[in-house]
Chains A and B, each alone.
Chain A
Amino acid sequence: MGSLSRRDFLKLCVSTGAAFGLSEMLLPDIIQAFSGPQAGNPPVIWLQGGSCSGCSISLLNSVAPEIGEVLTKVVSLKFHQTLMSANGDMALEAIRDVQRRFDGEYILIVEGTVPVGGEGRFATLGEQSGRELLFADWVKSSVRHAKAVVAVGSCASFGGIPASGPNPTQSLSLGDFMSSRSLINLPGCPSHPDWILGSVVHLVKYGVPKLDKFLRPTMFYGRCIHDACERRKDFDDGVFATKFSERGCLYKLGCKGPMTFADCPKRKFNGGTNWCVGASSPCLGCVEPGFPDVTSPFFVRMDQYGPAGTAPPEGHKTRLLGGEV
């Protein structure tokens, strides 16, 4: 199993029917790809900026491989504020150490935006001789020495909620912050653990996966949610829910599935347990660059709001939740 071809690997990533998660079949391959943290494989620095840590929590929900295996056998997670034992300077030294010893070999994962307003002081990480060290500077130096850069979640990929109007901290997505450097975007609010682990494994084993124009791996973000939705037949039959407790397509209640590209309807979240529409809740379009300004108001149907990126238009208010006006 340790020698999957790229083609077989992709097949496994895309197939979500037989087993949930990246599937047990993939685990030996993942372990071989990294062959354990002691074997000099690429270490990982995971930085959290303007974020809620939700993508980190989501990663902990990985089923196959289980997160315990990821931590002990798959990656060498040198810096991650929520999980690492070290504190303070000892923790920051881990970043500097990786930058020095693994120059050009480590994977940088960024969760959250890079706030550049207020001279960068909206997000700081550590201090030196009484001066705050800016989060933006840590990103800059970590990008410079990384082998590959991955933006996890909608905030790091496209700005997400912190960068939505009026963007009080002048938050930037990772792509906007580092401009010319190539990267992989793994949006989602939160990002799915399979999207994160599958992309990282592909990166290590086969290089950068095929990306769409928003730099999202097509193996996970290649299909319109509306096309794979369990309620698609309702849409085709003209059966629309007029309140959330009803069966039927959620389009008229604000579902953004028709403008959203990800494999949520098939992969589902939390070990294949469920997904937003499965809970009778409209898709928020959270993997799209327009989330949330373009995809909200969340309970207003897509054809009823104004130009992309503008504030909610006058008269947008349906005023009734759980029933049509």
Chain B
Amino acid sequence: MRRIVVDPVTRLEGHFKVSVDVDGGKVQRAEVAGTLYRGFEKILAGRDPRDAVFYTQRICGVCPADHAVASSLAIDDACGIQAPVNGRLVRNIILATNFLQSHITHFYQLSLPDYVTGPEIAPFVPHYTGDYRLSAADGERLMKHYFAALNVRRKCQELIAHFGGKMPHQAAIIAGGVTRIPEGDRIAAARSLLAEINEFVNETYQEDVELIAAAYSDYFGYGRGCGNLLVYGTFPEDDAGNKLLFPRGVYLNGAYENLAVDRIEEDVSHAWYTGAASGHPANTTTEADLGRKEGYSWVKAPRYKGASCEVGPLGRLWIAGHYRGGISAMDRIKARMLEAKLLIGPLDRWLTSLEPGGEAAALVKIPDDAVGVGLSEAARGALGHWLKIGRGCIERYEAVVPTTWNASPRDAAGQTGPIEAALTGLPVADPDNPLEVIRVIHSFDPCLACAVHVFKP
């Protein structure tokens, strides 16, 4: 038995640590942990509810727009309003474009160095040695695309900036809708950027994913994880938010079912928090407790009907029926690319459906006391914001984010989180260069700044 600790796991957002026990060439036990805590929900308490959109998007610089959407939906819900068509469309445009940015960044900047070695300079050296399978020519071409992708992801951010002022931390999404829709020349500029992004996605990104998938086809057999998929759904196609481009649903123990939101609970038995071990996010009250004996992470353990669930692009495509090839490390990489392709058409449709001169936001009147929930999707999966307003201020705020699901630690029943499950049983050829472990972790695209959170009323 040998214990391998990788801390930090790099090329992901935030602070992440993995510890695996390897015996007989396979992982017998895995523990993953978030190692940074900021206490965002505590910071939000007492503030103006409308400000939550601006605070919560700063939970994460990679998926700020995603938090802004969930937060604005939570406030809309608490106020009993809905965004007008322009507001809904611009939120969709900003969110979908950030999915593109995030997926491209994930494949090229965060994942590719697991499969291809780069130039012999920092930050590409040093790196693990061993199982790199592509020919020198293919490797060189992919590294060229690494640099090309940097410019394409930058263009995604420029597209968002036409609407949101800047990225990261766009400024357009507010409770009630968005600030305003831009002039026609900005919409035209956004469409032309989308055309460039489309070309890269369809001609380069797809081909590169297929190349990696073919060379590393054994990874379709690794990293399955818990096998359950959970999706809140997003991209409303009607103002009431009933019809979603990516629908809500759960794939649990091999069967499909509707999502029962009240069956989501958070467990802190193995996280450094006090308080009731389990609870629905609308009611949990927890606080940091570094003395907790079984604790090994700052990430809590959300469970659905008591089960671990994976969230992310694979789940979205699975529930929507676009892709059901399998659940594995390589399926996740493939699903991300397929989702990028799927988003281009709707994005262009939303861009051309804006109604110049029409309202962009509903009037927001903050009630004295109310609760609201915003269920949406971040690039990395299901994202939920729960809000309680008391005396016109934020009384309680809780964000349950994708990586909280995926990187969750064990629960009171000893059930592993999805990444831990995906690592268990994984072959590791060389414990000094645990490439397999890193590849499987990266397939989930973890975002730890988001995952670590706590709230105290």
Residues of A with Cβ closer than 8 Å to B? Answer: 37-38, 43, 48-58, 60-61, 63, 66-68, 71-72, 76-88, 90-92, 94, 115, 118-119, 121-127, 132, 135, 161-162, 164-169, 171, 189-190, 243-245, 268-271, 273-281, 284, 292, 296-300, 311-312, 316-317, 319-323
Complex CA–CA separation, A76 to B361 (angstroms): 46
Known: A53-B13, A88-B8, A296-B47. A80 touches B123 (CB 8 A): yes
Q: Can you spell out 18 A-B residue pairs with CB atoms less than 8 angstroms apart?
A: A52-B13, A57-B157, A60-B154, A61-B157, A83-B123, A86-B125, A161-B55, A168-B43, A169-B37, A190-B61, A190-B169, A244-B360, A269-B165, A279-B166, A281-B174, A299-B48, A317-B366, A319-B366
Say yes or no: is B282 at the interface (Cβ < 8 Å to chain A). no
Known: A279-B170, A279-B172. A54 touches B61 (CB 8 A): yes
Q: Flag if B125 contacts A85 (CB, 8 Å).
A: yes
Q: Flag if B10 contacts A82 (CB, 8 Å).
A: yes
Closest to A111 in B: B61
Q: Provide the residues of chain B in CB contact with A53, threshold 8 Å.
A: 13-14, 60-62, 449
A92 to chain B, nearest CB (A): 8
Say yes or no: is B103 at the interface (Cβ < 8 Å to chain A). no
Known: A82-B12, A83-B109. A166 touches B42 (CB 8 A): yes
Q: Provide the residues of chain A in CB contact with B36, threshold 8 Å.
A: 49-50, 115, 122-124, 135
Say yes or no: is B171 at the interface (Cβ < 8 Å to chain A). yes
Q: Flag if B38 contacts A125 (CB, 8 Å).
A: no
Say yes or no: is B214 at the interface (Cβ < 8 Å to chain A). no
Say yes or no: is B191 at the interface (Cβ < 8 Å to chain A). no
Q: Provide the residues of chain A in CB contact with B124, threshold 8 Å.
A: 84-85
The interface bits of chain B over 24-44 (1 if a CB of A lies within 8 angstroms of the residue's CB, else 0) are 000000000001111110110
Say yes or no: is B22 at the interface (Cβ < 8 Å to chain A). no
Q: Flag if A312 contacts B179 (CB, 8 Å).
A: no
Stretch of B113-121, B304-312, B317-325 lying at the A interface:
B113-121
Interface core residue of B47, B158, B168 (most chain A CB under 10 Å): B168
Q: Flag if B122 contacts A37 (CB, 8 Å).
A: yes
The 7 closest A-B pairs by CB, nearest first: A54-B61, A168-B39, A279-B165, A269-B166, A281-B171, A88-B6, A85-B127
Stretch of B134-142, B145-153, B215-223 lying at the A interface:
B145-153
Known: A87-B438, A297-B50, A312-B47. A276 touches B153 (CB 8 A): no
Q: Flag if A299 contacts B51 (CB, 8 Å).
A: yes
A168 to chain B, nearest CB (A): 3
Complex CA–CA separation, A300 to B384 (angstroms): 27
Closest to B121 in A: A37
B356 to chain A, nearest CB (A): 11
Q: Flag if B9 contacts A88 (CB, 8 Å).
A: yes
Say yes or no: is B301 at the interface (Cβ < 8 Å to chain A). no
Q: Flag if A50 contacts B38 (CB, 8 Å).
A: yes
Closest to A46 in B: B123
Q: Flag if B8 contacts A91 (CB, 8 Å).
A: yes
Q: Provide the residues of chain A in CB contact with B35, threshold 8 Å.
A: 123-125, 132
Say yes or no: is B7 at the interface (Cβ < 8 Å to chain A). yes
Known: A273-B158, A280-B180. A322 touches B362 (CB 8 A): yes
Interface residues of B in 368-391 (CB under 8 A from A): none
Q: Flag if B169 contacts A60 (CB, 8 Å).
A: no
Which of B14, B126, B298 is in CB contact (< 8 Å) with A90? Answer: B126
Complex CA–CA separation, A81 to B125 (angstroms): 13
